[in-house]
Amino acid sequence: MNHLIVLLLHLLAAFIFVGMVFFEVLMLEGIRAHVPHDAMRSIEIAIGQRARKFMPYVIIVLYGAGITMAWGYRAVLAHPFDSMLGGLLTLKILLALSVLVHFIIAIRGSAKGTLKARAFKNIHRSVFIHMVFIIILAKAMFYLN
């Protein structure tokens, strides 16, 4: 597949994913104190139901395109600490894998009803921090190389 198409798919999926996490962490948490508990709970349930319908597809595109692009750097990744690009790309991939694990834990826990509100909030905060570092690494990889 054309590299530009794969890159654009990856960027658009990242935009949706990061945007969703940004909205949940910074926007929803910011209004929690100003909205009645029952109303906030209804909003969270509705957003969660909506997100579960399309986020798995976003994740598939995001990681599929990411793997496709990483394949082009397999020689660099074979010796990740021989270059700045290899080290930063390896770190970015490790963070992305951690985000995927967080996502799977959150989806499974919420589907089973075992995910507590505090754990859900902590997962979202952790994913948000991961995503900030992934974005920084994505730019730094080529700027510092």
pTM summary value: 0.87
Structure tokens at 42: 């209804």
The tens digit of pLDDT for each residue in 7-47 reads: 999 999 999 999 999 998 899 888 988 999 899 889 988 98
pLDDT value, residue 51: 86
- The amino acid at residue 89 is L
pLDDT value, residue 94: 97
Indicate the domain borders of the chain. Answer: 3-143
User: Could you read off the pLDDT tens digit of each residue along the chain, which spans 145 residues?
Assistant: 799 999 999 999 999 999 999 998 899 888 988 999 899 889 988 988 898 889 999 999 999 999 999 999 999 999 999 999 999 999 999 999 999 999 888 888 877 888 787 888 899 899 999 999 999 999 998 888 6
